[in-house]
Amino acid sequence: MVLVTVLSSFLAAAVEFVEAVTIVLAVGVTRQWRSALIGTLAAVGLLVLLVGAFGTAIALLVPIVVLRLVVGGFLLIYGLQWLTRAVLRAGGATARHDEAAIFEREVTALRDEPPVPPVGMDWISFTVAFKGVLLEGLEVAFIVVSFGASANLLGPAALGAGAAGFVVLVIAALVHRPLAQVPENGLKFAVGVMLTTFGTFWAGEGVGIEWPASDAAILALLAGYVAIALVGVAVVRARVPERRGHSAAAAESG
């Protein structure tokens, strides 16, 4: 369970951090690196505080049955959202996430802002980077706290997310451009399946299900959701062949 918790939070965090890095890169390249990095650090610090405070408080104060029902329910809802979006993207019904296009959009928007002040802090750089990292990071914080609290493994969940942040930052620093090569859509598919699986398992325990084969039921759920999601991709692909080009231009759905 420890390994699965670390892996799940690593994958989820990697996806969100890739998106956050795109925003920070756009700010740094277009305006001022120093203010963008200070904004990034401030957001990361706030996220660490939130995970520490809420994660510990929830794990200590809420009974495990209630925790699994409520948090498992949230994970289930959230995971199902990720999974259905991933199925629609993989089937060509909605646009795939394109970091290069998002980067260009951010750069264009930032060029319309007032010029960077010659000295001192550029608050536009700070605010855009802070907001971008905080919003993307809140999803990671939600997953880490939910996963960590339900499995009583907050440390490993935070470790997985931290490792993902480190890896993404190192790669971004080396390549110095949007991480368009990261298989973001595939990662979102995997994370969606994992969150839905664990959400079902924990919420099911919360409503009183005695899972056959206990924890091994997780594997059966995982296999079941993967199979249904793959069938879903095939069905979507078969239904929208003539519209795929048009759909690719459709708005990104998250």
Partner 1 sequence: MRHVRAFGAFWYDFLVGDRWELFLGPLAALLLVRVLVWVGVPGAVTSIVLFLLVAGTGAISVGWILRQVRRGSA
**Interface residues toward partner 1, by CB under 8 A:** 69, 73-74, 76-78, 80-81, 83-84, 87-88, 93-94, 138-139, 142, 196, 199-200, 203-204, 206-212, 217, 221, 224-225, 228-229, 232, 236, 239-240, 243, 246-247, 250-251, 253-254
29 vs 139 by CB, closer to partner 1: 139
Give me 43's structure tokens: 């957001």
Nearest approach in angstroms of CB 121 to partner 1 is: 25
Specify whether the CB–CB gap between 149 and 67 falls below 8 A. Answer: yes
Under DSSP, is residue 113 helix (H, G, I), strand (E, B) or coil?
Answer: coil
Tell me the closest approach of the beta carbon of residue 113 to partner 1, in angstroms.
23
Report the distance separating Cα 22 and Cα 180, nearest Å. 9
Joined tokens for residue 191: 């994370």
Q: Give the nearer residue to partner 1 in terms of CB position, either 119 or 249.
A: 249
Residue 71 beta carbon to partner 1: minimum distance, rounded to whole angstroms: 12
Q: Yes or no: say if 189 and 13 are a contact pair by the CB < 8 Å rule.
A: no
Q: Is the Cα dihedral 82, 254, 50, 23 positive or negative?
A: positive
Check: CB of residue 79 under 8 Å from CB of residue 197: yes
By beta-carbon proximity to partner 1, the closer residue of 180 and 185 is 185
Q: Least distance from C-beta 111 to partner 1, angstroms?
A: 28
Between 135 and 180, CB nearer to partner 1: 135
**56 or 84, CB closer to partner 1?**
84
**CA nearest to 180, candidates 95, 96, 90, 99:** 99
CB of 75 to partner 1, least distance (A): 10
Packing angle between helix 184-206 and helix 64-90, nearest 10 degrees? 150
DSSP annotation of 62 reads S
CB of 31 to partner 1, least distance (A): 26
Query: CB 64 → partner 1: shortest distance, Å?
Result: 17
Token pair 């939130």: residue: 50
Nearer to partner 1, 120 or 254 (CB): 254
Residue whose CB is less far from partner 1, 152 or 253: 253
CA angle 88, 94, 97 (to 5 degrees): 100
For residue 178, give Cα distances in angstroms to 102, 105, 164, 230: 9, 12, 16, 29
